[in-house]
Amino acid sequence: MDIVPVIDIRSGTVVHARRGERASYAPLRSDLVAGSEPLAVLRALLGAVAHIGSPAPAAYIADLDAIVSGPPQWPLLAALRSASSMPLWLDAGFDSGSAALAAAQHGFVPVVGSESLRSLDGLEALHDGAAGDWLLSLDCDAAGPRDPSGIAQRPDLWPQRVIAMDLTRVGSVAGGVSAWLKACMAEAGDRTWIAAGGVRDRSDLQALKTAGASAALVATALHSNALHD
């Protein structure tokens, strides 16, 4: 089971994401690193994953400024890209395939979030232009799927790697295997599945692996050292 560390950035700093309530996200407080400077946090997280076991295959960056309302924080994102020896999966609120393709051309692996995608137009170009190296995040909250484009109902347009993102579990200690992950996997079990939200400890990682997930997005459990033996 791969561990993909997560960094949520807003206004140039790392914040602690909790249950999708973005207005209340506070600057990060971590047992791994002092402060909330993005490059320092990225290095600390990658080091923590390597210390636990295998090196992280990538790091996941959520640009909250771009997801909520504004343009991506390109200067900061470029600095993170330059500092990382691992691929960076970037969710920057891409509303179309062409927007995500632009991020791929900047050296990132784009993550297309279903909550941000407004149209299915251009996804074919993303498949071709990014050489298939992109991810779809199927997003839900307490009210159900966040899916204005209807991508969740079009598994024929999904890439090989798909994230099941239950925002109500992000930053929580919900644990176990989410109903959302199970529902998404039932639509297309032949994909490579990444679970997001609620990992508490190693037993949760094992449960996700048993359920068929290949990786998990993790932040809180890393910052609290909960994954150490």
Quick check: is 128 in a domain? yes
Q: What is the pLDDT of residues 67-77, one digit of tens each?
A: 988 889 999 99
Task: Tell me if 91 sits within 8 A of 61, measured CB to CB.
Answer: yes
What is the CATH number for 11? Answer: 3.20.20.70
Helix (H) and strand (E) counts in the chain = 8, 11
Residue ranges making up the domain that contains 138: 2-223
* CA trace torsion 138, 98, 100, 215 (10° rounding): 50
pLDDT given at position 189: 85
pLDDT given at position 159: 93
Q: What is the pLDDT of residues 50-63, one digit of tens each?
A: 999 889 999 999 99
Quick check: is 229 in a domain? no
The set of residues, in sequence order, having a beta carbon less than 8 Å from that of 226 and lying 6+ positions away, is 200, 201, 220
Quick check: is 228 in a domain? no
pLDDT given at position 22: 61
pLDDT given at position 131: 54
Quick check: is 124 in a domain? yes
Q: Which of 76, 74, 75 has its CA nearest to residue 42?
A: 76
pLDDT given at position 19: 59
pLDDT given at position 69: 82
Q: Tell me the C-alpha distance between 21 and 99, whole Å.
A: 25
Quick check: is 187 in a domain? yes
The total domain count for the chain is 1
Residue ranges in the chain modelled with pLDDT below 50: none
Quick check: is 38 in a domain? yes
